[in-house]
Amino acid sequence: LASVARDAKIQVEFDRDKVLSYRLLGFENRAIADEDFRDDTRDAGEVGAGQSSTALYEVTLDRSWDRGRGPIATATLRYRRPASERITETWASLHADDVERSFRDANPHFRLAVVAAEFAEVLRDSPFVEDRSMEELSYQADRVADELRRDADAEELADLIDTARRIRRR
């Protein structure tokens, strides 16, 4: 697999006037300090051709601000190009209009990623999902798999959750 990005790092900055709280799901073992983000001697992730990486944040928005004014967050990606060793940095902003108001209305691929993250949180007994049941996760995974026309990854996740649900009942 050919590497297309070496020492890839992403940093997400939230607007504190719009975001009351946030939490990165997973990646605890890959976190780097803010001051190390532009330190090119720090080892980071490698991305191969055709690969992608997803980071999910649980975010609580302040409902009192005007949805049309400025970004909620800015994500900055920094990586080294393997052929030239040149550092590249790019960024994108996330605005309120980019966020669905309802989980049900969100893109099914996004909902699949959320169900996978919640499943991981349930398996590790995270206090953040103590009110989430395997039955609810199983229902959500089946629903998303149906919407994605039985996509192989969605189907596999639904099967894994259903198996875990049956094991936990014993």
pLDDT, tens only, 138-165? 999 999 999 999 799 999 999 999 999 9
pTM higher than 0.85? no
pLDDT in the model for residue 147 = 95
CA dist., res. 168 & res. 158, Å (int) = 15
Give the other-Cβ count within 10 Å of 16's Cβ: 8
pLDDT in the model for residue 31 = 82
pLDDT, tens only, 97-115? 888 888 889 999 999 999 9
Contacts of 143 (CB under 8 A, 6+ apart): none
Q: Is the pLDDT of residue 52 over 90?
A: no
Q: Is the pLDDT of residue 133 over 70?
A: yes
